[in-house]
Amino acid sequence: MLEKNVDFATYAKTTPDKNGYFGTYGGAYIPPQLVEEFERISVAYQAICKSSKFISELRRIRKEFQGRPTPVCHCERLSNSIGNCQIYLKREDLNHTGAHKLNHCMGEGLLAKYLGKKKIIAETGAGQHGVALATAAAYFGLECDIYMGEVDIAKQAPNVSRMKLLGARVIPVSHGLKTLKEAVDAAFEAYMGEFEDTIYCIGSVVGPHPFPMMVRDFQSVVGIEAREQFLDMTGELPDAVVACVGGGSNAIGLMSAFLNDPVKLYGVEPLGIGTKMGEHAASMTYGSEGIMHGFNSIMLKDEKGEPAPVYSIASGLDYPSVGPEHAYLHDLGRVIYKTASDDETIEAFSVLSKLEGIIPALESAHAVAYAMKLAKEMKTGTILINLSGRGDKDLEYVIEHYGDRLGLK
């Protein structure tokens, strides 16, 4: 794709436009009864979240409760095992609750409090967003309902217990493929019946406007910290930045700080077990333009044009669409989208554990897998990976399905 004439120095202030469009992607395709409520959230977001009171409160929470800033660390042994290219990690696994998701959940929870809402509601795939939201609900004293597909409930049992312990209701979703897409459908339907007292805290940079913008802004703390930390550590910017892409929040969070820099940006999608429909969830790589869950983006479709069945070893990545900003940055040629298969991901999961003492989330292991390939190709230079979460939640699943291969049984 050709790089179009976009001024990335002013990009964050001008994108999306006032109707929530990133180029032709985004918008708010919602039932008429929700239009007013979404406008209210949009206006409140601009008025409240940009106030110094809100910002200083969120800063204090990030420092005292979340444990931010999370560090950047150099992976010396991993880098040496590949060659001369130096790999670094932004350690979102060390953010409270073990993933980047808490960054937007605390922002959304604080906004809910300012708006006088009593309850927050959401879907979850891997359970990380659900745990983060349940944590925010406990912190702010809000009720919390989390919708989760039955397949993911079975796969991510420890996170289900965590959400319950934190006081959330976990509501199983048993239709369709019983994974993330169906959980979003169910959460949205429930929200329509109770939006007056409730706010829907979407789990990524997806959904109707203003959510893709709001979640991006709350996640941008990752990139702001990482850019400064990397400069401080090395005196330079990284040559490449790599992040996994499900809906795309950890990727946007890190990349937003580097859009105006001479840094290559790579988003990594899940290739699962193959390129046929139902074998992967690589929306940007194999999808086409379409509307789902209230926003226009690039999505995977079946023969009838409906959202296609998707699969990934990582529950947090198996979503048949992608945040509208990613679709836009792809068209602009500013971010390059690549894939990592289940097998490559399992290899990276094992290698990072053994060489660096860091067990990554299976979602994040996709980024590590691609970065390892990229490091071989680049030969020299530096790569910064967003290690979006820790892998404890995945251990049981990995032992059951890959235990023999990894020598864990």
Ligand X SMILES: Cc1ncc(COP(=O)(O)O)c(C=O)c1O
Catalog residues that contact ligand X under the rule CB under 6 A.
99, 125-126, 128-129, 204, 244-251, 316-317, 361, 363-364, 388-389
In the complex, the smallest distance separating the C-beta of residue 215 from ligand X, rounded to whole angstroms, is 8
Cα gap 321→106, rounded to integer Å: 25
Beta bridge mates, 133: none
For ligand X, the closer CB: 251 or 259 = 251
Cα gap 300→133, rounded to integer Å: 27
In the complex, the smallest distance separating the C-beta of residue 379 from ligand X, rounded to whole angstroms, is 28
The tokens for 239 are 């040559």
For ligand X, the closer CB: 15 or 249 = 249
Contacts of 407 (CB under 8 A, 6+ apart): none
In the complex, the smallest distance separating the C-beta of residue 228 from ligand X, rounded to whole angstroms, is 21
In the complex, the smallest distance separating the C-beta of residue 128 from ligand X, rounded to whole angstroms, is 3
Cα gap 103→218, rounded to integer Å: 6
For ligand X, the closer CB: 85 or 153 = 153
For ligand X, the closer CB: 126 or 160 = 126
What is the helix, strand, coil percentage profile of the chain, to 5?
50, 20, 30
For ligand X, the closer CB: 85 or 251 = 251
Cα gap 281→269, rounded to integer Å: 7
Catalytic residue among 85, 96, 100, 326: 100
For ligand X, the closer CB: 126 or 378 = 126
Cα gap 314→180, rounded to integer Å: 11
Catalytic residue among 49, 75, 144, 201: 75
**Cβ of 235: how many Cβ atoms within 10 Å?**
7
Burial category of 304 from C-beta neighbours within 10 Å (exposed 0-12, middle 13-18, buried 19 and up): exposed
For ligand X, the closer CB: 173 or 378 = 173
The answer to whether residue 100 is catalytic is yes
Residue by residue, DSSP assigns 91-159 as: EGGGSGGGBTHHHHHHHHHHHHHHTT--EEEEEESSSHHHHHHHHHHHHHT-EEEEEEEHHHHHHTHHH
Cα gap 139→150, rounded to integer Å: 27
In the complex, the smallest distance separating the C-beta of residue 116 from ligand X, rounded to whole angstroms, is 28
Helix (H, G, I), strand (E, B) or coil at 171: strand
Contacts of 175 (CB under 8 A, 6+ apart): 182, 185, 186
For ligand X, the closer CB: 62 or 113 = 62
Helix (H, G, I), strand (E, B) or coil at 22: strand
Cα gap 37→213, rounded to integer Å: 16
Nearest to 111 by CA among 71, 51, 67: 51
Residue carrying structure tokens 């005292």: 64
In the complex, the smallest distance separating the C-beta of residue 270 from ligand X, rounded to whole angstroms, is 10
Q: What are the φ/ψ torsions at residue 196 (nearest 5 degrees)?
A: -65, -40
The answer to whether residue 75 is catalytic is yes
- 407 alpha carbon, distance to own chain's centre: 30
Catalytic residues: 75, 100
